[in-house]
Chains A and B, each alone.
Chain A
Amino acid sequence: MSEEPIHPDTPDGAGSPSNEDNGPDRNSTLAGLWVRVVELEREARWLSAKCDHLRHSCRGLLQTVGSPGPLTDEQVRLITAESPRRSQAEAIEEAIRLREERSAGLPPVPSGSTVEQLSRRVAELQPVVAALTTQREALRPIFLALAEAFEPFAPPTQEEVEEMLRAADGTPGPSILDLINEVERELRT
């Protein structure tokens, strides 16, 4: 799967499609297709990062609980046959980049784009997204089964729920980084 954008983003104002015979309808079609291309590319990149992250988590938990644990042979094969393309930290960074891109909105339609090019790109991306969605849907129950085998799930108690809601509305307590510093000081004494 290609994760590179097919068209480099053009600077603001440089994105008018260059069509000799374009009317408002053709521009509207181009704009709609461009939205679809960008959304599909972003979705493919997010799903790819998510699948890599899940695959790492599943592999780690499988080692912890012992193979095959709660999994079928087919599920074990699914998480071990293919190596993740990124580390978990890289998958997180990709997801953060995508969130920033989504927040920035849509890049302008690349200059010179045609309806045919964008339609072709949509057709290329749709099966990629479908395949990654299927992969994510297969990995999700594997991860949850392994997590359950590691330690059975129990929802937070009512007391915890109330405490967290109070903390969200009031002064936040120590953060994870504060706790690292606290334990580090404790270990030095």
Chain B
Amino acid sequence: MTTEGPRPYQVVLSGLARDHLRELFRAAARAGRWEEVTADAEVLMRALTWVPETVAEAVVDLPPLGRVQVGSFRSIQLRIAVNDDRLLVFASWFRLLPAESA
């Protein structure tokens, strides 16, 4: 049995994705949802690093990025592209879901 652990994916955020996230966190703070949404973002980051296919569904292949996927985790809706060969997750889009949805 080998003892090496799994290799993580590197999560790459586009400039637009970073803008979406800043706005998402500001909106969460305004809505009194800072703790909830930042905790969700931290778990989401862990999921994207280790098991991106668990939180998203493939929509279309977009070489050379990879499989473009739509996903969600509790308060956050997202779009990513997963490249298994290079172990990369490209995140391009985030939205905050209403409180009653999370």
A85 at the interface (CB under 8 A from B): no
**Is A23 part of the contact surface with B, judged by Cβ < 8 Å?**
no
Measured CB to CB, the nearest residue on chain A to B26 is: A183
Q: What is the bound-complex CA distance between A186 and B22, given in angstroms? A: 10
Binary contact track A45-59/B, C-beta < 8 Å → 1, others 0: 010011001101100
Residue A176, interface by CB 8 Å: yes
CA distance A156 to B61 in the complex (A): 12
Q: Decide yes or no: A176 and B11 within 8 Å by CB, A95-B54, A151-B95, A160-B92 being known contacts.
A: yes
Would you give the 0/1 interface string for B48-83, flagging 1 where the beta carbon is closer than 8 Å to chain A? Answer: 001100110101101011001011111001010100
Interface SS, B side: mixed
Q: How far apart are the CA atoms of A136 and B85 in the complex, in Å?
A: 25
List the interface of chain A (C-beta within 8 A of B): 12, 46, 49-50, 53-54, 56-57, 60-61, 63-64, 88-89, 91-92, 95-96, 99-100, 102-108, 140, 143-144, 147, 150-151, 153, 155-156, 160-161, 163-165, 167-168, 172-177, 179-180, 182-184, 186-187
- Jot down 27 A-B pairs with beta carbons below 8 A, ordered by A: A53-B54, A60-B101, A64-B98, A89-B74, A91-B54, A92-B43, A92-B47, A92-B73, A96-B50, A96-B51, A99-B50, A103-B5, A106-B1, A143-B70, A143-B72, A144-B59, A150-B97, A156-B90, A164-B92, A167-B14, A168-B88, A173-B18, A176-B13, A176-B21, A180-B38, A183-B26, A183-B29
B residues near A (Cβ < 8 Å) are 1-6, 10-16, 18, 21-22, 25-26, 29, 38, 41-47, 50-51, 54-55, 57, 59-60, 62, 64-65, 68, 70-74, 77, 79, 81, 86, 88, 90, 92-93, 95, 97-98, 100-102
